[in-house]
Amino acid sequence: MIIHSAELPIELTNGNDGRGGRWFSSAKIRKQIESLLIAEGHRRSEPFSGIVSLRITRVMGKRQKAWDADSWQRGNLKELIDALVVVNWFVDDSPKYISEVRFRQRADNPRPKESTTIVEVIQ
């Protein structure tokens, strides 16, 4: 059962921009996402209780193509989940609190110029 759903103005990346061979500041990306979450009113007073699963949906913008099934695992999703921990969605991102993360993509964007990310918390 979905206990919370939020569409966030965040474009997921798949790491094809050279993350592996260069210095990469995941903390900087996490802080940028955290600031956006706070500005959009997504801070929670208490984290979700119990173990949850996450379903992440990449809503593709104009001219974006679907990724390979495993590409989402190396982009900025880790920083998004870490930022959700900071804004009190979860106590921690360990398996004690988040048992799994599922990913899907959609091309039926009602605002095709924008790419967004839907985060669904499932219990």
- 103, 51 Cβ separation under 8 angstroms: no
pTM for the model: 0.89
Q: How far apart are CA 39 and CA 94, in angstroms?
A: 26
Nearest to 76 by CA among 55, 96, 56: 56
pLDDT in tens, 23-44: 457 889 999 999 999 999 999 9
CA angle centred on 90, ends 105 and 82, rounded to 5° = 60
Q: How far apart are CA 65 and CA 78, in angstroms?
A: 21
pLDDT in tens, 84-113: 999 999 999 999 999 999 999 999 877 777
